[in-house]
Chains A and B, each alone.
Chain A
Amino acid sequence: MGALARADDDAGARTAQPAGDDGSTAERLAPSMAGAPAPHARALLEVIDRDGHVRQVWTIHQWPARIGRALDNDVVLTDPHVAPHHCRLDHPNDGALRLEAGETLNGVMVGTRRVAAGMSAELKPERDGEIALVAGRTRLRLRLAEEPLAPEVPLATHAVRRLRVLPTFVLGVLLVAGVAFATYLDSDPDNFVRSAGNTLLAGLSIAALWCGAWALLSKTITRQGHFGWHLRVFLIAALALLGLNAVPGLVAFAFSWPWIASFAFIGTFVVGAAALYFHLLGVEPTRPNRLRWVVGVGAAVGIALTMWFNQQRTGRLGDELYMAHLYPPGLRLVRPVPVERFIDKLGALHATLDKKAREPATDDAFASDPGNDGRDDDN
């Protein structure tokens, strides 16, 4: 017979296929339950769900092991993209573990390599001692008995949790303080308490809704909420955005660098993209590279679109026509220029303006209505 992994086969007690999430436990226990001596397993073939969990486990006791959709296989996969006799794993005593693809259209993916019908390949365990295979659309993981096991991963202990609670709490306090300060700056003394109350209430609601929604998404896909993770991502991102609100303006003011404030939106996009990346990491932890690409491209597209829109609307790439960030005079670090030189530099605009005046007006992306500068008293 083939290397049917079933211990029960030897005992002749059961012939049923293993199934279900708890297959592995059931399988391993089966022999002892049947009261028969179990030969050592040679390998474990796991079917991996798209969330990374193990859906089904096949214990391999004997080489070769045949994999396919037909019922006479040792490992039967219910996947329409798998051939009746898809492939065969063999591990001769004197040789290396080999995979031979059977009569299959789709072949077998070994890591990133495709093994086509009739071809064979040597299988080498990855660093973690496991071999990743994809047959049709079924992700398989092969663990060999002789490979060393990765060490046990400790559970998050109370101590570890406490280590996370404190920074989260500190971040939360910082954010509340930051929001309160921003409200203070924007409100008149008589209105401050009411404004602060409103802002905090709104902020808390937004934080709860935001993190709750991400946790729900995480739970749906990874079966764990990761609320703490999402909360930390939110807090850090919100603090970063709060900082971005003030810092570029301050630098622009201190050094008379208007462009810094004008292009601060790039920072906002970067922070937003980073936050999105870390949130998504809590939802789809297995594909960080792909997420990085998606988020990076998204941020680049957002920045480019903003610049294009600015260019259409105002003829400039940046956001601001002039630097309008004023801080207490003591924070200005550069020296004023003499009026004479300031006016001379104005002359540089002459040629550009004349050139633009000769261009016909082509766009209708004219955002402001004419006369909105308030100097139009006519009619």
Chain B
Amino acid sequence: MNLSRGRGRHAAWLALATGLVAAQPGAPTAPAAAEPAAEAASAPVSLSARKVYEQARTQLVQIRTLLKGRGSQTSVGSGFFVSADGLIVTNFHVVSEAALKPEHHDLVYVTADGREAPVAILQIDVLHDLALLKAADSKGRRFDALPLRATDAKPLAQGERIYSLGNPLDVGFAVAEGTYNGVVRRSFYPQIFFGGALSAGMSGGPALDQEGQVVGINVARRVDGEQVSFLVPAAFATALIARGRDAPPIKTPAYDVVDQQLLVHQAALTDRFLQQGWKSGTHPRYKVPVPPDVFMRCWGSSEPSRTGGLDVERSDCAMDTRIFVGDYTTGAISLRHESYDGTRLGALRFAARYAQSFRNESFVRLSPEHQTRPMCHEDYVDPNGLPLRAVVCLRAYKKLPQLYDVSVLVATLDQNQAGVQGRLDALGVSFENAQKLSRRYIEAYGWVR
């Protein structure tokens, strides 16, 4: 399908900084150096912010990932103590290099007064992007801990002030004041919409309410907006602590844990996706599968040809939520379709253009280190009597057994001068669910009665 034109605009809308780590792969710290100026423009810190920071200062740490044997840092994030015996909560993406490639990376924490000590990973939660660490020098030491807001506490009201703490861009510990804006709409897992400025490096830092209790953990922001940031609700951290506080440290690459959690995720994702059904009235002639806007968001556009050629209308649906797994993200579903009208072209010319669009599809996503090359199965099918050309391509993850990416590409073949081409992509699903999703997607096509 012809994607090249429509997509750029959406990408700007949808692009989400999954990583607040200063040194993302491919995004070194250098460009971030320009950002502090923008940071200074945020709201002046109020008295209560100062109070909150004073109280939380000793509980706050910076988490550094160091290259083994070199000592130079490959990424930095933030974290905070949650227990007197040295448990630290941070984001998974802050420690992902150390968790997935422990042979190359060391992890240390640095306190506000500059004390540095190694730290071990006890448990991770890739679905909510959390990690539980333990200070390796905890023997005989007592740490100040931040209290997590109780799971059953009265929810904050929209507009209440909250304070996000962390070490932005490795510049120094900082407090960013903002507002609580409820839960993010259309997120697959609940996330808090924080109306404040977060920067790379603050990932994993706590966001505190007026009483100094942790309401959430800094995780992401929208790069295309202003002060549109996201927090992981504290309840998930509470659950992670309960689950992992006595676990032995993870010393080998944590792909097996990631794999297990992704398998749980894909089961939930597939179920919820298939349960929600499809929107109706998506095309005047065909039933074309478009998901309702529950945890996906659809954008449409219309492109009439300026040269008397093919008129195209598109719809592009994607999830905001994606699961960060080190070098890539996965665990998401997206759909799109394009509706072609070539009345002015004639049958043969329309077919040529329609085929060109069908050809213009890629089924390669990750490098061979992470994924196999695609393998496809194709044939003519006729769900509900509507003839389609269907191609299903699958890729297997190399380090995540039993997880696959599936892409389904279909083109309607009943009219000489018009048609619809659709595509479903499900990243990181089991083979069984890949088959189930493909089937349900293809079966959703048909005639409008």
Chain A residues with CB under 8 Å of chain B are: 184-186, 188-191, 249, 256, 258, 314-315, 321-330, 332, 334-340, 342-343, 345-350, 352-354, 356-358, 361, 363, 366, 368, 370-379
Q: Evaluate contact between B365 and A379: CB separation under 8 angstroms.
A: no
Q: Evaluate contact between A373 and B363: CB separation under 8 angstroms.
A: yes
Q: Evaluate contact between A321 and B305: CB separation under 8 angstroms.
A: no
Known contacts A347-B431, A357-B398, A370-B367, then 5 further A-B pairs from the complex at CB < 8 Å, ordered by chain A residue: A188-B307, A330-B416, A335-B380, A343-B442, A374-B362
Once bound together, how far apart are the Cα atoms of A14 and B18, in whole Å?
103
Q: Evaluate contact between B368 and A363: CB separation under 8 angstroms.
A: yes
Once bound together, how far apart are the Cα atoms of A180 and B351, in whole Å?
17
User: Does B354 sit within 8 A of A, measured CB to CB?
Assistant: yes
Nearest B-chain residue to A189, judged by Cβ: B308
Please give the number of chain B residues whose Cβ is less than 8 angstroms from any Cβ of chain A in the complex: 86
Q: Evaluate contact between A349 and B362: CB separation under 8 angstroms.
A: no
Q: Evaluate contact between B439 and A357: CB separation under 8 angstroms.
A: no
Once bound together, how far apart are the Cα atoms of A326 and B349, in whole Å?
11
Query: What chain A residues lie within 8 Å of B373 (beta carbons)?
Result: 314-315, 356
Once bound together, how far apart are the Cα atoms of A223 and B329, in whole Å?
68
Set B351, B367, B381: member contacting A337, Cβ < 8 A: B381
Q: Known contacts being A324-B359, A343-B435, A375-B334, is A356 close to B382, with CB within 8 Å? A: no
CB of B289, distance to nearest CB on chain A (Å): 13
CB of A284, distance to nearest CB on chain B (Å): 41
Once bound together, how far apart are the Cα atoms of A339 and B431, in whole Å?
17
Q: Evaluate contact between B416 and A336: CB separation under 8 angstroms.
A: no
Chain B residues 432-449 with CB under 8 Å of chain A are 434-435, 438-439, 442-443
Q: Evaluate contact between B365 and A371: CB separation under 8 angstroms.
A: yes
User: Does B165 sit within 8 A of A, measured CB to CB?
Assistant: no
Once bound together, how far apart are the Cα atoms of A189 and B427, in whole Å?
40
CB of A178, distance to nearest CB on chain B (Å): 13
Query: What chain A residues lie within 8 Å of B404 (beta carbons)?
Result: 353
User: Does B392 sit within 8 A of A, measured CB to CB?
Assistant: yes
Q: Evaluate contact between B416 and A321: CB separation under 8 angstroms.
A: no
Set B322, B364, B414: member contacting A329, Cβ < 8 A: B414
Stretch at the interface among B39-47, B173-181, B340-348: B340-348
Set A190, A342, A357: member contacting B381, Cβ < 8 A: A342
Q: Evaluate contact between B398 and A337: CB separation under 8 angstroms.
A: no
User: Does B118 sit within 8 A of A, measured CB to CB?
Assistant: no
Q: Evaluate contact between A372 and B362: CB separation under 8 angstroms.
A: yes
Q: Evaluate contact between A368 and B362: CB separation under 8 angstroms.
A: yes
Set A353, A361, A375: member contacting B365, Cβ < 8 A: A375
CB of B161, distance to nearest CB on chain A (Å): 30
Once bound together, how far apart are the Cα atoms of A346 and B374, in whole Å?
13
Set B3, B354, B379, B435: member contacting A347, Cβ < 8 A: B435
Query: What chain A residues lie within 8 Å of B209 (beta carbons)?
Result: none
Q: Known contacts being A188-B308, A188-B309, A338-B381, is A379 close to B24, with CB within 8 Å? A: yes
Chain B residues with CB under 8 Å of chain A are: 3, 7, 11, 14-19, 24, 26-27, 305, 307-310, 318, 322, 324, 328-329, 334, 344-345, 347-352, 354-355, 358-359, 361-369, 372-383, 387-398, 401, 404, 407, 409, 411, 413-416, 425, 427, 431, 434-435, 438-439, 442-443
Query: What chain A residues lie within 8 Å of B392 (beta carbons)?
Result: 346
Q: Evaluate contact between A342 and B377: CB separation under 8 angstroms.
A: yes
CB of B95, distance to nearest CB on chain A (Å): 18
Set B358, B442, B443: member contacting A326, Cβ < 8 A: B358
Query: What chain A residues lie within 8 Å of B364 (beta carbons)?
Result: 368, 370, 372-373
Q: Evaluate contact between A343 and B415: CB separation under 8 angstroms.
A: no
Q: Known contacts being A188-B309, A366-B367, is A332 close to B387, with CB within 8 Å? A: yes
CB of A87, distance to nearest CB on chain B (Å): 67
**Closest A-B pairs by Cβ, 5 of them:** A188-B309, A324-B359, A361-B368, A357-B396, A188-B307
Set B309, B318, B375, B388: member contacting A336, Cβ < 8 A: B388
Nearest B-chain residue to A363, judged by Cβ: B368
Query: What chain A residues lie within 8 Å of B363 (beta carbons)?
Result: 321-322, 373
Once bound together, how far apart are the Cα atoms of A376 and B364, in whole Å?
12
| 18 A-B pairs with C-beta separation under 8 A | A188-B308, A249-B355, A321-B374, A326-B354, A326-B358, A329-B416, A336-B380, A349-B377, A353-B396, A354-B396, A356-B375, A368-B364, A372-B364, A373-B361, A373-B365, A375-B318, A375-B365, A379-B15
Nearest A-chain residue to B409, judged by Cβ: A322
Query: What chain B residues lie within 8 Å of A363 (beta carbons)?
Result: 368
Query: What chain A residues lie within 8 Å of B345 (beta carbons)?
Result: 188-189
Query: What chain A residues lie within 8 Å of B354 (beta carbons)?
Result: 326
Q: Evaluate contact between A322 and B391: CB separation under 8 angstroms.
A: yes
Q: Evaluate contact between B393 and A322: CB separation under 8 angstroms.
A: yes
Once bound together, how far apart are the Cα atoms of A187 and B144, in whole Å?
71
Nearest A-chain residue to B384, judged by Cβ: A339
Q: Evaluate contact between B375 and A188: CB separation under 8 angstroms.
A: no
Query: What chain A residues lie within 8 Å of B17 (beta carbons)?
Result: 379
Query: What chain B residues lie within 8 Å of A321 (beta carbons)?
Result: 363, 374, 376, 393
Q: Known contacts being A190-B307, A352-B375, A353-B395, is A375 close to B425, with CB within 8 Å? A: yes
Q: Evaluate contact between A349 and B394: CB separation under 8 angstroms.
A: yes
Once bound together, how far apart are the Cα atoms of A371 and B389, in whole Å?
25
Query: What chain A residues lie within 8 Å of B334 (beta carbons)?
Result: 375
Once bound together, how far apart are the Cα atoms of A220 and B11, in whole Å?
61
Query: What chain A residues lie within 8 Å of B368 (beta carbons)?
Result: 361, 363, 366
Query: What chain A residues lie within 8 Å of B350 (beta carbons)?
Result: 328
Once bound together, how far apart are the Cα atoms of A214 and B222, in whole Å?
63
Q: Evaluate contact between B318 and A377: CB separation under 8 angstroms.
A: yes
Q: Known contacts being A347-B435, A357-B397, A366-B368, is A337 close to B376, with CB within 8 Å? A: no
Q: Evaluate contact between B414 and A189: CB separation under 8 angstroms.
A: no
Once bound together, how far apart are the Cα atoms of A56 and B434, in whole Å?
81
CB of A318, distance to nearest CB on chain B (Å): 12
Query: What chain A residues lie within 8 Å of B19 (beta carbons)?
Result: 379
Set B3, B361, B415, B443: member contacting A339, Cβ < 8 A: B443
CB of A308, distance to nearest CB on chain B (Å): 16
CB of B394, distance to nearest CB on chain A (Å): 6
Q: Known contacts being A185-B349, A336-B381, A368-B362, is A375 close to B413, with CB within 8 Å? A: no
CB of A332, distance to nearest CB on chain B (Å): 6
